[in-house]
Amino acid sequence: MKRARVFPLILALCMFFQDLPGEAQSVSTGKTNYEKPVPQWLKDLRRADIIFFGSFPFTFFFSTTAMDLYRSSQHNWDTRYAPWPVKSAGAINMTTDEFGITIGIAAGGAFLVALADHIIVRIKRRQAEMAAARLPPGDPIIIKRPYGGVPEESPQEPEVSPDNGEP
């Protein structure tokens, strides 16, 4: 019965995190377009959400395999408790408590993966800020953009004809 109460909460959290904006949104205000900036903490939260739910299937697979091995070892390697690849037709399924422990371990592992990613990204961001702060004043700071991003508009120079050098 505990699983029946937790499932709607997990579903509501999943639906909430899927609607968070990940990039700047364009809002039309009549004559001009206004780009609403998204705070960095919200981008970090969205990235952690993606990492968590992306790594959850893998951590669930590994925790299920580990739980199957643990159950088999506790029952003196009985073939009815064999782990997944060698399970027979008459295998004994996990109890509700064992399944809950497996889900908890999988969620904890996915959380640790997301936390490790967050720490790594924060360290890299901090190192980039420190490197930019060490530059002498007046040095240009190059901002890398992904391929296919919106390029900044540069003024067009008039074409020069090869005949007389005039446009």
pLDDT on residue 121: 93
Q: How far apart are CA 144 and CA 138, in angstroms?
A: 19
Average confidence (pLDDT) over 73-95: 82
Q: How far apart are CA 7 and CA 100, in angstroms?
A: 12
Of 13 and 92, the one with more pLDDT? 92
Q: pLDDT by residue (tens digit) across 97-146?
A: 999 999 999 999 999 999 999 999 999 999 988 888 887 777 777 777 77
| H helices present in 28-78, as ranges | 40-74
Query: 85 vs 29, 66, 163, CA distance in Å?
Result: 59, 12, 78
Angle (CA) 144-142-139 rounded to 5° is 170
Of 63 and 5, the one with more pLDDT? 63
Report the helix count and the strand count for the chain, using DSSP H and E.
3, 2
pLDDT on residue 134: 83
Query: Residues 88, 80: contact at Cβ < 8 Å?
Result: yes
Domain boundaries, the chain: 41-134
Q: How far apart are CA 127 and CA 106, in angstroms?
A: 32
Split at pLDDT 50, 70, 90, the class of 49 is very high
